[in-house]
Amino acid sequence: MITLDFASTTFLLAATCGILCIIQLCYVFGIYNRIHQLFKKGNEPAATDLPPLSVIIVTKDSGSALNQNLPAILEQDYPKFEVIVINDKSAGEDEDILKLLSDRYENLYHTFIPKTARYVSRKKLGIAMGIRASRYDWIVVTEPYCRPVSKDWLRSLAAQMTPSTDIVLGYSNYLPKKGWFARRIITDSFFHSLRYLGMALAGHPYMGVGCNLAYRKSLYEKHKGFADHLQLQRGEDDLFINAVANKYNTRVASGPDSIVRMPVPPYKRIWFERKMNALVTGHYYRGMARISNAFETWTCGLFHLATIGALAMSIVEQQWIVTGIVVLLWLLRFISVMMVFRRTAHDLNENLCCIFPLFDLLRPLWSLVRQTQYLLRKKRDFLRK
């Protein structure tokens, strides 16, 4: 009787592996593979005209980053655009650099957030000021530490600005750098992009990233800006897009020219705080995106655990057919994931293949750790100050 129960448990674990494998493959080929499919089609322009653009950047103590990256934006090969930089009471040399650059570039404008502005997210206030001062309907949002990899970055975004489009999402990631921490966060950002860009391509957009994002000023005004989440320090990108995006008004920029990169944070705590803020805003997402992402993460972790359990029990019981089936299921998922990750990484000029297997194994555990750390944090840490 004990042997029968043990064998039944083995078959049950093997069946669980099969179900979880099918779920994982649905995510891999239904969502994560869509960026590769988009790049495979080529970067044929969807829009026939290149509308004038207003690029908005909020800076705070980012003088060296502005000096290094702003010329790459101001010198874009684009017929008509303006760059508006809002200075958030920087203690550094931001204002001096902006004055020097404005003498060289006629399309650069800058202003500042009043020191008296309180009880509101200054990042959101800065973007709101930039949008109010902008002359054009299409707004492009990025950060002072971000640098487009090509002079055709704005063209790649504008290529998706059709008459029926209100939002264009772009890919962004960190610059290549040696070291475990750098490779981990680059891979994490890559996987995060597979999710939100893949969901947008599947007709279910749920967020954007403020490093490489475009939307219509009229859409912003119609939604009353960031009024529905002013209580949070962040959310000017993902929560806003989550509220206004749908399958009809959102497109994804493709091609190597559409990529924006930024330096790896000098301290781990900076990246950690960004992940914490992402967890906070994620709790305010409308729709099923949050549940869907969590479901994928936990089915991934359960698949690994069920595989280990089924292999151990089938070997002890000498159920070699079950052992073979479980191994085949694991190989099927592993090869599928690595194939999709590798092809998409090649499309996005990422060199991450060596870390993919370890990242895939550990990301459910990392997710659990972050969720635990978030629960231990004081919620007022994320509110506007």
Q: Residue 110 is part of a domain; what is its CATH number?
A: 3.90.550.10
Are residues 82 and 109 both part of a single domain?
Answer: yes
Q: Which residues pair with 54 in a beta bridge?
A: 82, 139
Non-local (6+) Cβ contacts of 25 within 8 A are 332, 333, 336
Q: Which range is least confidently modeled, 243-247, 302-306, 316-320, 377-381?
A: 377-381
Residue where a domain stops, chosen among 260, 286, 312: 286
Residue where a domain stops, chosen among 225, 257, 286: 286
On the question of pLDDT at 45 being above 80, the answer is no
State pLDDT tens for residues 172-210. Answer: 999 999 889 999 999 999 999 999 999 999 999 999 999
- Band (340; pLDDT cuts 50, 70, 90): very high
Give residue 4's pLDDT: 44
* Secondary element (H or E) of residue 39: helix 34-41
Are residues 16 and 106 both part of a single domain?
Answer: no
Q: Angle 320-347/356-376 helices, nearest 10 degrees?
A: 90
CA pair distance 268, 261, nearest whole angstrom: 18
The distance in angstroms from the start CA to the end CA of the chain is 65
Two tokens, residue 371:
């969720």
CA pair distance 203, 248, nearest whole angstrom: 8
Are residues 378 and 366 both part of a single domain?
Answer: yes
Give residue 314's pLDDT: 86
Non-local (6+) Cβ contacts of 298 within 8 A are 364
Are residues 282 and 346 both part of a single domain?
Answer: no
Are residues 345 and 325 both part of a single domain?
Answer: yes
Two tokens, residue 370:
């972050």
State pLDDT tens for residues 237-275. Answer: 889 999 999 999 999 999 899 999 999 998 888 888 888
State pLDDT tens for residues 79-91. Answer: 999 999 999 876 6
Are residues 199 and 332 both part of a single domain?
Answer: no
Are residues 255 and 313 both part of a single domain?
Answer: no
Two tokens, residue 343:
């092809």
Are residues 131 and 176 both part of a single domain?
Answer: yes
Are residues 73 and 168 both part of a single domain?
Answer: yes
Domain count, the chain: 2
Question: pTM (2 decimals)?
Answer: 0.90
Are residues 85 and 229 both part of a single domain?
Answer: yes
On the question of pLDDT at 46 being above 80, the answer is no
Residue where a domain stops, chosen among 286, 320, 344: 286
Q: Which domain covers residue 299, as residue numbers? A: 2-34+290-382
Give residue 7's pLDDT: 65
